[in-house]
Amino acid sequence: MTAADGERELLRRTVEDLLARHCTAARVAAAAAGAGWDAGLWQALEETGLTLAGSPEEAGGSGGDLSAAADIAVAAGAAAAPVPLAETLAAGMLLSRAGLAIPSGALTVAVASGPGLRRVPYGRLATTVAVGSGGSGGSGGSGRDGDWLAVIEPAGRGRTGRVGTGRGGTGRNLAGEPRDEVIFGGDAEVHDVPAGTADYARRLLRLFRSLLIAGAAQRALDLTVTYVQEREQFGRPLARFPTVQQELARMAGEVALIGAATQAAVAADLPGAGEGVSAVVAAKAQASSGAGVVAAIAHQLHGAIGTTEEHRLRLTTTRLWSWRDEDGSEAECFAELGRAALAAATGAGAGAGAGAGAGAGAGAGGLWPWLSGSPAAGSAV
Amino acid sequence: MRDGTLLPPVRPLPAGAAELRSQVRGFLSAERTAGRFVPACDAWLSGWDESFSRRLAERGWVGMTIPREYGGHGRSALERYVVVEELLAAGAPVAAHWVSDRQVGPNLLRYGSEPLKRRYLPAIAQGTCYFAIGLSEPDAGSDLAAVRTTGTRADGGWTVSGTKIWTSGAHRAHALIALLRTGPPDGRKRHVGLSQLLIELEQPGVTIRPIISMTGEHHFNEVVFDGVFVPDEQVVGTIGEGWAQVTSELAYERSGPERLLSTFVLLDTLVGELALRSRSGDMGAGAADAGAGAVGRVVSRLWACRQMSLAVAGALAAGEAPEIAAALVKDVGTRLESEIIEVARMLTATLRVEPDPEGAGIARLLAQAVLHAPGFTLRGGTNEILRGIVARGLGLR
């Protein structure tokens, strides 16, 4: 184990311990039923500086790289932490990349498409970092050509008239996490930001949502492994039944796939999303499509007790069912990847000199260079 | 259990991997253009082409990890991974040297005696020495420890009798690496008393009978040993340690790119065809969107499986033994190989293409894929057995 590995492991353990202390089933459920978050947990996280890992200290962050922020997000997903931790991590990275200061408190990110900002995670509680491109941004972006970014404080914190959680109203996802409309008027402070910022924000959100799913999927597996060892039927633990073992192994396969995909997306280094498959889109596709499988097997093996309010499993599975649709469902990601695959197939077919026969013949298409993230020989020119 | 125990960390490929990749692509492109091979599904089982193996070896891409002193190239396991996945993705005919390169070379390096290494490794690296694997028997399929082929102590060696089955390529291979019983089991501990021997196939007492597949092809054989003398020099590793030796190889066998890419050529060709048709306006926008979605589904899964396989390869290269993750790669990857066929069928229906073994392009590839598919989830340990291994790793049994 290298020194960096050791440090990463230490951070991981610190986060997991802190979250485990606070994220009892009772408190997670209370957050969903009440204010929408756990203020005590949030305060504890802020005190440790964990909420701004991955952002440089000059910008007001806690330092560390993407992998540190990613590990924290996975832990948050596993613990079903009822706070905008992943959202704040993403917002910090987004702001510092745009060269803007990171405000204090809980943050969330919204990418504008059409008028207003809909289903913003924790919109009622957190300062919203809104980004958009050109005229696509509705009220805030009107009149701008390039990418823009606006920092919008939640209602009731002063600066009235700029923000509000209004017409579209407040909402919740299946896990009771706030998903609110955030409205900002023409007097909002809007910054011009480098081209590509909105795209970057979209990738960032997808990545962090995938990491949350990875954590939750692992937790669903852990809960299920424990349950089938404890629960006895026909005079022996469920774990002893081969059919149960087969299903659990299938579940483990999905969990491992999500883990590999998300970790590879982190390693692919977000801003440099260059050649080949967009790792973030592929990771979200995998996380979203696997989430349903994982939740279904978890419930099947838990039996009826898992479907109750009192059982902890639902805190995890309701998140899986919500998160798979947020920041790009698998259908959206599949379509995006598929279109890119088709484009790669035609592009490299011509570039590599395979000629018109590339499609009709076998092999040598552009799919593999694209999939393996390595450009086809000779196609670069 | 925490995240990370299920899967080793995803590590980057070594520096120079991209350069190596592009060299292999250049070679494959030239081979294809010259008509020296036609890409096929599952070519690592069915594409036996000794001249291709030799040409590949001339480039240094067979027995890559064998040290120079044994005629190899001293490359890393991850460099070999890069070369192998390029070959598989291209549907290249790698069956002749497949077992030698993937299994026997590393096995001999790890367990082989000095004379054994000197005898076989240089020829393996030259792409001229081919092996078969002698694990399964008529009564020992998934239950491998039930092997009944025996080696009886003889003067200076072992006398081997018994039957091996499903031995791919035995009719063309030079030798077979067998797991057999050289001593009694220790009560219920059936893994005791097993050993690995290298048996030359061209000698009296060895009978090789073909088993023709439903494709009409001849890959599999039944190999019968009737009092075959195997000298002590041909013992691999330690007598009685065969089980441990065989199982330590399995992580390599289960997690490699061949567990994901057996139908890749079909997917590649299909995507190429769809791309052409949607660009030429041959396809309605609705059909093109549906096609893209379906392609995206398998492509994202393939990408994720590949990351998993790479993570295991990285762990193996680092000297770890990620048994659960390796079993998971094979379970997930081989099922994906068949899912690709289903997507291809769905999409080719609109192209009015049906599988045809005598056809060309997609029709032929579909025929190969459909008929080979049942084997994907059987070979190298059935997926049910693998899931049992995973369950054990999770603490369930």
- Using CA atoms, how far apart are residues A291 and A78, in angstroms rounded to an integer? 13
Instruction: Extract the residue ranges of chain A whose pLDDT is less than 50.
Output: 137-142, 158-165, 272-273, 349-361, 377-381
Contact residues for B187 (Cβ-Cβ < 8 A; gap 6+): none
C-alpha distance from A105 to closest chain B C-alpha (Å): 29
Query: What's chain A's Rg over C-alpha atoms?
Result: 22
Question: Is the Cβ of B22 closer than 8 Å to some Cβ of chain A?
Answer: yes
Question: Is the Cβ of B385 closer than 8 Å to some Cβ of chain A?
Answer: no
Q: Give how far Cα A127 sits from Cα of A205, A289, B23, B342, B391, Å.
A: 16, 31, 52, 47, 45
- Using CA atoms, how far apart are residues B42 and B208, in angstroms rounded to an integer? 23
Spell out the per-residue pLDDT of chain B, length 397, in tens.
Answer: 344 468 898 888 888 999 999 999 999 999 999 999 999 999 999 999 999 999 999 999 999 999 999 999 999 999 999 999 999 999 999 999 999 999 999 999 999 999 999 999 999 999 999 999 999 999 999 899 999 999 999 999 999 999 999 999 999 999 999 999 999 998 889 999 999 999 999 999 999 999 999 999 999 999 999 999 999 999 999 999 999 999 887 777 889 999 999 999 999 999 999 888 888 877 777 778 888 999 999 999 999 999 999 999 999 999 888 989 999 999 999 999 999 999 999 988 777 889 999 999 999 999 999 999 999 999 988 999 999 999 999 999 8
Residues across chain B: 397
Strand partners, A150: A130, A190
Partner residue facing A257 (CB), from B277, B292, B305: B305
Where are the alpha helices (H) located in chain A, listed in sequence order? 3-22, 25-33, 39-48, 66-79, 85-97, 138-141, 197-230, 242-267, 279-302, 313-323, 330-351, 357-360, 367-371
| Block residue for tokens 């982190």 | A266
Query: Other CB atoms closer than 10 Å to residue A187's CB: what's the count?
Result: 9
Task: With H, G, I as helix, E, B as strand and everything else as coil, classify residue B286.
Answer: helix
**DSSP sequence for B321-342:** --HHHHHHHHHHHHHHHHHHHH
C-alpha distance from B334 to closest chain A C-alpha (Å): 12
Asked if B3 lies within 8 A of A368 by C-beta distance, the reply is: no
- Using CA atoms, how far apart are residues A108 and A93, in angstroms rounded to an integer? 11
Residue A16 backbone dihedrals phi, psi, to 5 degrees = -60, -40
- Using CA atoms, how far apart are residues B326 and B259, in angstroms rounded to an integer? 10
Q: Is A354 exposed, middle or buried (0-12, 13-18, 19+ CB in 10 A)?
A: buried
- Using CA atoms, how far apart are residues B236 and B233, in angstroms rounded to an integer? 8
Contacts of A336 in chain B (CB under 8 A): 296
Q: Give residue A168's pLDDT.
A: 60
Task: With H, G, I as helix, E, B as strand and everything else as coil, classify residue A24.
Answer: coil
Asked if B331 lies within 8 A of A360 by C-beta distance, the reply is: no
Asked if B300 lies within 8 A of A358 by C-beta distance, the reply is: no
- Using CA atoms, how far apart are residues A368 and B6, in angstroms rounded to an integer? 27
Predicted ipTM of the assembly = 0.93
Closest C-alpha among A196, A129, A185 to residue A160: A185
Q: Give residue A153's pLDDT.
A: 81
CA B87 to chain centre: 12
- Using CA atoms, how far apart are residues B26 and B20, in angstroms rounded to an integer? 10
Yes or no: say if A301 and A239 are a contact pair by the CB < 8 Å rule.
no
Chain A to chain B Cβ contacts (< 8 Å): 243
Question: Is the Cβ of B299 closer than 8 Å to some Cβ of chain A?
Answer: yes
Yes or no: say if A220 and A247 are a contact pair by the CB < 8 Å rule.
no
Q: Give residue A354's pLDDT.
A: 36
Question: Residue A244 carries which side chain, given as an amino acid letter?
Answer: V
Question: Is the Cβ of B347 closer than 8 Å to some Cβ of chain A?
Answer: no
Partner residue facing A342 (CB), from B2, B278, B324: B278
- In chain B, how many H helices and how many E strands? 13, 8
